[in-house]
Amino acid sequence: MLSPIAYGLAILLNLFIIFIGLRFLLVPHAAAAGYGVPAKKDGDAAYLAIKGLRDFSYGVVGLALLAFVGPQAEAWYMLAVALVPLGDTVIVLRHGGTKATAFGIHFATAVIVLINAALLFAV
């Protein structure tokens, strides 16, 4: 019973981060606003594209690890990658974003990723 939940959550999380990456690549200013720190219209969009590529790549790597290496590798990956939403929490707070966005989106994501890591370690 635990295995389908662990795998399903891992797949869902990886697909979600791929979606976020694509959103930053395709509609960067809307994605930045959803992230919690709106980008300036006349700012350097390269940084938004970098975030999009980073997030997209994280999702692809996560799916590849799960498919070709297994749950233990994915668990270690999730444990390490949980640092990203934790860092995002701090970034949103330091750059004028709301606490609701910082904790309700980014910190909550880190917690879910860590729970998924624990579930994958238990498989």
Phi-psi category of residue 97: left, alpha or beta, with phi > 0 → left and psi -120 to 50 → alpha: beta
pLDDT of residue 84: 97
pTM above 0.95, yes or no: no
Task: Give the number of other Cβ atoms within 10 Å of residue 122's Cβ.
Answer: 12
Residue 44 DSSP SS3: coil
Q: Which amino acid is at 37?
A: V
How confident is the model over 10-23, as pLDDT tens digits? 999 999 999 999 99
